[in-house]
Amino acid sequence: MTHRARVGAIEIAYETFGAPDDPPMLLIMGLGTQMLGWPDEFCQLLAARGLYVIRFDNRDIGLSTHLHDAPAPDVMAAVAGDARSASYTLTDMAADAAGLMDALALTSAHVVGASLGGMVAQTLAIEHPRRVRSLTSIMSTTGDRRVGAPTEAGAAALMAPPARDRDGAIERALNSARTIGSPGFPLDEQAVRDRASRSFDRAFDPPGVARQLVAVLASPDRTPQLRELAVPTLVIHGADDALIGVSGGRATAAAIPDAELVIIEGMGHDLPRAVWPELAGHIGDLIGRVER
């Protein structure tokens, strides 16, 4: 069941798995990807480890508030270094996550972010350190443009023209999965189709995705601040990530004191079902150490 929480001037849509008395885990998804990017069964797998799992739609995506009245985002200008069209930054998205925790009366949580969600999670740990019991950054990077660069094909997939209709959205999702997905694991095309169709039916807003991308490009390199973190941290990255190169994960782990780095062979820029038990195991082990 989807709930909504008022966070400042916006509403955040969220769902929960597990018992509210268990240690809370906040899942933050990536660019243009709704909370459905954390599959139900994966969330249930985490909840079965004794965790209260919360997934949510970032601003401008899914059932959370879309900033339709914001200035038009200029992605190409932001790529070139002119981010004046940004309506917000990762700082604002991290504040949304902290505000959701306030709405749920959580003083802190174990925070897990994937891709852009990893950037938001890192920013949350930097700017709201008391809210983060542990940090897991998956297939993400530090904001240093010298690391985590996409392959040429990965960049093309990211910048591909938005779909115009439901069928186009499904086909675009499939093309993206074939390009940046995990070459070492089977592609579940039906799961991609199902998520793309559900996402389109919940909300379809290409300008909102562009605003998220400009927010990333408008945000500074976090490396100096990551070096000051004092939070138990796990960094997970696919060895074959075509969208955020594995150097981004390595740099993240190198920056954060005592961070654990896990590189998964054959994994790209997605969460293939075959790696769910391994992901849940690594994350659960980290949280177990912290909770003890």
The domain that contains 280 carries what CATH number? 3.40.50.1820
Task: Dump pLDDT digits (tens) for 260-284.
Answer: 999 999 999 999 999 999 999 999 9
User: How does residue 90 score in pLDDT terms, banded at 50, 70 and 90?
Assistant: very high
Mean per-residue pLDDT for 219-246? 98
Share of the chain above pLDDT 90, in %: 100
Mean pLDDT of all residues in 79-107: 97
CA-CA-CA-CA torsion sign (243, 249, 251, 255): positive
Q: How much is the pTM?
A: 0.98
Long-range contacts of 15-20 (CB under 8 A, 24+ apart): 15/54, 15/55, 15/56, 16/52, 16/53, 16/54, 16/55, 17/43, 17/44, 17/46, 17/47, 17/52, 17/53, 17/55, 18/46, 18/47, 18/48, 18/50, 18/51, 18/52, 18/53, 19/47, 19/52, 20/52
- C-alpha angle with apex 55: 95 to 39, nearest 5 degrees? 145
pLDDT the model gives residue 276 = 98
Domain containing 113: what range? 3-291
Using one digit for the tens of pLDDT, what is the confidence trace for 152-188? Answer: 999 999 999 999 999 999 999 999 999 999 999 999 9
- The stretch 97-115 carries a mean pLDDT of 98
Q: How many domains are there within the chain?
A: 1
* Six token digits for residue 291: 């909770």
Q: Does residue 43 sit in helix, strand or coil?
A: helix
Would you please indicate which residues are annotated as catalytic (active-site) residues? 115, 241, 269
pLDDT at 273: 97
State how far the Cα of 240 lies from the Cα of 15, in Å rounded to an integer.
Answer: 31
The three-state secondary structure class of 49 is coil
pLDDT band of 135, cuts 50, 70, 90? very high
